[in-house]
Chain A
Amino acid sequence: MTTTEHVDHTDHAAHDEGGHKPNSFYIKVAAALAFITGIEVALYYLDLGSWYLPILLVLMLIKFLTVVSLFMHLKYDNKMFAMLFYSGLILAILVYVAALMTFRFFDGS
């Protein structure tokens, strides 16, 4: 009754279909990320005025979500993992936006 039941399946092909793509896919994603980084740096030297900040933030968000979804496989993995990670992330954003707004409101008062 104390024996350990061990059923090992070596069908990795089925596993790979779920979330792990061929290496060429990751290389293309990395090339896209590098390209976006290049755009970010180019924008730094250009004068885009009020468009600079929102464009930069959108590019940052695209890079962030691409790494999290594709390299960290969160897009294909169990939703529980995504919930744990994004809970921490959203909580951090809410807490610190509130903190920064508080400092701004009371600054110089």
Chain B
Amino acid sequence: MSDATLAGTPAVVDHPADDHAGGGHAGHMATTTGLSNNKLAMWLFLGSECLLFGGLISTYMLYRGRHTGSAGPAQLWDIPLTSVSSFVLLMSSLTMVLAVSAAQQRDDRLTRIWLSVTALLGSTFVGAQVYEFTSFYHEGVGFTTSLFSSSFFTLTGFHGIHVTVGIIMLMSLVGIISRSDVPGDKAEVVELIGLYWHFVDIVWIVIFTLVYLIPA
């Protein structure tokens, strides 16, 4: 046991042999689990988010048949538009993983570029969602029109908010990296935001299939 540990001061240590298995990076603070607390917290948060989106998806599945007249999923969905926006979000996961890769190679310029491209693709997705919501509204389907519309707007709206929060985090990170003001391990910060972004993508993978492609 080191002197620093005996004195109650957290020791900053690194074990290259099991570094990745420990989920840490060079120079992270020693923890009781041997894992990065930040990363542990992020995975715990994502696990809890499964329960949130599980509830919203279940509610939609339950109420998707509760609509009046012609204002149902079969009449409203624009599959080509949604397919393109799904593709865009999927590609944003690629650019995000490239940003993480660049951050681990300590290439700040490339990291900022990939983060910005990810944010741009995310913005395109949100733009398509706003367009979709607007067109539904013009067709007479609002939030309180039916149980179907309420559950649909709540589910996809929550997902859209998550994407928007992700875009804000990405752009903030670009700014912080530009000022070389990243607290702690830069690669880990990029990786944590990457985990959040990928989670938003996998939630959409489920929504796209269960909500859009499976007929009510």
Contacts and interface: CB of A to CB of B under 8 A. Distances in A.
B79 A100 contact: no
9 contacts: A2-B9, A4-B4, A4-B12, A72-B198, A77-B20, A77-B21, A81-B39, A88-B47, A92-B50
B139 interface: no
B47 A89 contact: yes
B202 to A, nearest CB: 5
Nearest to B80: A41
B43 A100 contact: no
Nearest to A90: B50
A9 B94 contact: no
B120 interface: no
A78 interface: yes
Most chain A C-beta atoms within 10 Å of own C-beta, residue among B33, B194, B205:
B205
Interface residues on A, range: 35 or more
Contact of B57 (A8, A59, A96): A96
Interface in A29-68: 29-30, 33-34, 37, 40-41, 43-44, 53, 56-57, 59-60, 63-64, 67-68
Given A23-B101, A81-B23, 18 more contacts: A8-B27, A15-B19, A26-B94, A34-B91, A40-B208, A57-B209, A67-B202, A72-B195, A80-B23, A85-B46, A87-B47, A88-B44, A88-B49, A88-B50, A89-B50, A92-B51, A92-B53, A92-B55
Contacts of B43: 81, 84-85
B40 A84 contact: yes
Contact of B202 (A7, A41, A53, A68): A68
B135 to A, nearest CB: 19
Interface string B19-55: 1111101110000010100011001101111110111
A109 interface: no
Contacts of B201: 67, 71
Contacts of A18: 19-21
Contact of B97 (A9, A26, A76): A26
Interface of B: 2-4, 6-7, 9-14, 16-17, 19-23, 25-27, 33, 35, 39-40, 43-44, 46-51, 53-55, 57-58, 61-62, 79, 83, 86-87, 90-91, 93-94, 96-98, 100-101, 104-106, 194-195, 198-199, 201-202, 205-206, 208-210, 213-214
Contact of B4 (A5, A20, A72): A5
Interface string A1-13: 1111111111110
A3 B48 CA distance: 38
B142 to A, nearest CB: 25
A7 B198 contact: no
Given A4-B11, A5-B2, A15 B16 contact: yes
Contacts of B14: 7-9
Most chain A C-beta atoms within 10 Å of own C-beta, residue among B40, B47, B55, B198:
B47
